[in-house]
Amino acid sequence: MKKIIITLYFIATVITLHAQDGSNQVNITTTAVPFLRISPDARSGSMGEAAMGLSPDVNSVFYNQAKTSFNTNKAGVALNYSPWMKEVADDMYFTTLAGFYKPTDNKAIAASLRYFSLGNVPIVDYNGNKLNTSQPREFAFDLGYSVKLSQHLGIGLTARYIRSKLATGAVNGTDYKAGSAVAADLSLFYTNKNDEGKGWSAGLALSNLGTKISYTDDQSDFIPANLGVGAAYTEVWDKDNRITIAADINKLLVPAVPTDQHEIKNYYETGVMESWLQSFNNQALQLGTGIEYQYKGLLSLRLGYSTRTYAAGNWQNLSVGTGLSLGIATINFAYLVPTGDKINRSPLSNTIRLGVAVNIK
């Protein structure tokens, strides 16, 4: 039962939730395809999902494509894997593949694929009788381009195709179909680091700016448009030791679900561009911060913390991780430390992320 409840939270298109305390009501902000907001790689995943201002790597396309043109390598590829919500399910997983190539020192192209499997979900009728079994699957393909505008500033653009199949056919009188959407990211990256790597860097990204997605013929749902801002500072102690501190803040650019049921119809009929302006009425914020220690560029130790407001899910996670560089290959690992107790326990507790990256000079 617990598995079904948590899985339905993820595969629901837009769920109307209300929390009432006395006379006050809090709007919950939800979207379709929430897998687009999952941090896929172990490096940022172990640093509280702070990634905007971190030094560029193969996985930059997932957060801030503008960073890719600052990568010191000529090309690279990365594979990431995470068994998802192991606390409540044993057949959900999230995996990604990313790569980049720099035809010149100032330009870079990148591509990525995200694939989210939600396992096998029983479909039941209103009486609890099992009708069939659904196998929800979602994926997104990205193609990005970035260029340095100067030694310190870069800009990036990413195009995205999204496909989501939660259920197909008739279920309890409603016909469901797979949904598709297209979106784009616009990103900026600034750095003033010196040749030793000491200094500040910062990033900004407008992500998932695109169409709605439909699972039925009579309703279209918002995808998770997002504004992310972050910064990082690296202190170089000597040639062997350095430490980086990073922090990100993210805000969903979708309207809050109305607490007044009479406004629900207008909510679903709101246009995409109009919804970005209406997103200022939501309180869906996520804050992440982390620290990374590197020894000789070979060993990395990481610690992070992320928190979401009630409107964004009310989750708090403590994360730890490590990275090991072996020539051209880097192996990263992240672990989300269990937090909370009983019903307050985070469903992401004990989540692990594994990643392997290969870079070409």
Q: What is the pLDDT of residues 9-61, one digit of tens each?
A: 344 433 333 333 333 455 678 899 999 999 999 999 999 999 999 999 999 99
184-241 tens-digit pLDDT: 999 999 999 998 889 999 999 999 999 999 998 888 899 999 999 999 999 999 989 9
The winner for highest mean pLDDT among 121-135, 169-183, 235-249 is: 235-249
pLDDT at 89: 73
Q: For domain 2-360, give the CATH number.
A: 2.40.160.40
For the chain, the domains span 2-360
Model pLDDT, residue 21: 37
Q: How far is CA 121 from CA 50, 154, 173, 201, in A?
A: 32, 44, 18, 43
Looking at residue 84, its pLDDT comes to: 87
- The pair of structure tokens assigned to 268 is 């679903």
Which DSSP symbol is given to 22? T
Taking the whole predicted model, whether its pTM rises above 0.75 is answered as yes
Give yes or no for a contact between 203 and 53, defined as CB atoms under 8 angstroms apart. Answer: yes
How many residues belong to the chain? 361
Q: Which two tokens stand for residue 130?
A: 């099992």
Higher-confidence residue of 16 and 336: namely 336
Q: If pLDDT is split at 50, 70 and 90, which confidence band does 112 have?
A: very high
Predicted local distance difference test score (pLDDT) of residue 19:
34
CB 210 within 8 A of CB 184: yes
Average pLDDT, the chain: 86
| Residue pLDDT, tens place only, 72-92 | 999 999 999 999 887 777 788
Q: Of 287 and 263, which is predicted with more confidence?
A: 287
Asked whether the beta carbons of 257 and 16 are under 8 A apart, the reply is yes
The structure tokens listed for 179 are 């949904």
What pLDDT is stored for residue 23 in this prediction?
35
Residues paired with 360 in a beta bridge: 75
- Residue 62 confidence (pLDDT) above 90: yes
pLDDT of 341 strictly over 70 = no
What pLDDT shows up at residue 1? 37
How many angstroms separate the Cα of 49 from the Cα of each of 12, 44, 92, 98?
Answer: 24, 5, 20, 18
pLDDT of residue 14: 35
Question: Which residue did the predictor score with more confidence, 14 or 354?
Answer: 354
pLDDT band at 155 (very low <50, low <70, confident <90, very high): very high
| Average pLDDT value for residue range 289-307 | 96
